[in-house]
Structure 1
Amino acid sequence: MILASSSPRRRELLSQAGVSFEVISPHLAEPVDLCGATPMQTAQALAYFKARAVWDSHRDRWVLGADTIVNEGGEVLGKPLDAEHARSMLRRLSSARHTVITGVALLGPGGRRSIMAQATGITMRRMTEQEVDQYISSGEWIGKAGAYAIQETADRFVQRVEGSFSNVVGLPMELVMNMLAREGVIA
């Protein structure tokens, strides 16, 4: 199987589960808006685009793609463009509940495919300006949907997790393992 992702977190989660895979990073620009798509549809579409970008050159292999987005108040928060954008996202998430959605696409030989998504509710505690400044200075927000990484020091801002923790990290492992087993990728 090929993991179509440059995310070290996704690699780590699959490795911990004992899944054998190689990594090929998809080379595509993530679309910002998918015109009227729901957040779940957006996550699924982005996962599919990533998997398809790699699968097009490896049609005889199974390819797993994933994309994680944050939905707050009906707006999709992707990866911040810069430190100020990250600061704005963190202020918005402070003292609020949001949903982390990871879309997963598994494409295989003969055009077989399975595309799903999982949502996890997150409630953040109030963050002080000093905490936001320190977190921005740490650089942990870079490349992270919603400008935070729950598996790193941002866990201290999380008040409540409703659902899959691994989903928030970047790969809903129960869903992924069931997909892989159902398609015969793993025993």
Structure 2
Amino acid sequence: MSLDDSAADCPARLLVLASASPRRRDLLARINVVPDHICPADIDETPAKGELPRPYAIRMAQEKAAAAHLNDPCWILAGDTVVAAGRRILPKTETEDEALQCLEILSGRRHHVLTSICVRCPDGRLLSGLSDTIVQFKRLSRSEIAQYLATGEWQGKAGGYAIQGFAEAFVKRLSGSHSGVMGLPLLEARNLLISSGYLASTDL
């Protein structure tokens, strides 16, 4: 994938976000980081046979960061969020039936939300980080699941829910990064941007 002509003459400290997610842009704004260009990565996100959730999440973020081919000295930030029930990778739900199945699996149990991020440096180095958050849902009634499905929030969401929406009312316990469950762990993202040389440690 390449940037369009509008980004051809990029400044030396250009940051490209390899994601179309408005949530990730909003979360970056919380640490005063505004991407100069949005370049969604178009890659095959099918898990490999037997691939476990953690290595899958790391691989996805790295492949998304590597998918943007640039000639300019740019930083590329990519991320991927995976919801895992045990060793099972739950899908980014595209149909109501998929979302229903995910919510039935998650009802009343703990699950892991793994958000991997990767920064591709101007010299080609890939720096990676991973947030692992444990989320426990209350036991969901049939009517609660039906009401949630009616919101449409589940569309395209890992595990069939969005914690920044109505599904937050289902969360009984959360241990880890709330922003990571939303799609971009801010602690890890800021640390990687500092390690990559894009940010100074004093930048707020």
TM-score (norm 1): 0.94
C-alpha change, 1:181 and 1:90, in structure 2 (3 Å) is same
Matched, 1:170 2:183: yes
Q: Quick check: 86-95 or 57-66, which moved more?
A: 57-66
Displacement after TM superposition at 1:59 (Å): 5.1
- The structure 1 segments of at least 4 consecutive aligned residues displaced by more than 6 Å after TM superposition are none
The superposition leaves residues 109-167 of structure 1 with CA deviations (integer Å, 9 ceiling, x where unpaired) of 12122022110000000111111111111100011100111111100000000111110
Change over 3 Å in CA distance of 1:108–1:81 after alignment to 2: same
Q: Which runs of 5+ in 2 are unaligned?
A: 1-14
Q: Which has more helix, going by share of residues?
A: 1
Quote the offset at 1:8 in angstroms.
0.8
Report the secondary structure of 2:67's partner residue.
Answer: helix
| Deviation larger for 66-75 or 43-52 | 43-52
- How does 1:100-139 map onto structure 2 within 5 Å? 100-139=113-152
Number of aligned residue pairs: give it. 186
| Structure 2: distance between partners of 1:57 and 1:115 | 19
**Could you tell me which of 7, 17, 41 is aligned with 2:31?**
17
What runs of 5+ residues in structure 1 fail to find an aligned partner?
Answer: none
Structure 2 residue matching 1:175: 3-state secondary structure: helix
Letter in 1 for 2:148: Y
Aligned residue for 1:69, secondary structure, equals strand
CA positional deviation for 1:179: 0.8
- 1:5 corresponds in structure 2 to 19
Residue equivalent to 2:63:
49
How far residue 58 of structure 1 moved from its aligned partner, in angstroms, is 4.9
- Aligned with residue 74 of structure 1, among 76, 84, 87: 87
User: In percent, how many aligned pairs have the same letter?
Assistant: 38
SS of residue in 1 equivalent to 2:179? helix
Match of 2:8 in 1: none
Structure 2 equivalent of residue 152 of structure 1 = 165
Q: CA RMSD in A?
A: 1.3
Task: Check 1:182–1:27 CA distance in 2 against 1; reply closer, same or farther (3 A cut).
Answer: closer
What CA distance in whole angstroms lies between the structure 1 residues aligned with 2:29 and 2:63?
Answer: 23
C-alpha change, 1:58 and 1:122, in structure 2 (3 Å) is farther
Structure number with larger C-alpha Rg = 2
State the Cα distance separating 1:40 from its structure 2 match: 1.3
CA distance in 2, matches of 1:15, 1:137: 30
Counterpart among 90, 93, 98 of residue 106 in structure 2: 93
* 3-state SS of paired residue (2:117): strand
Q: Match of 1:111, SS?
A: coil
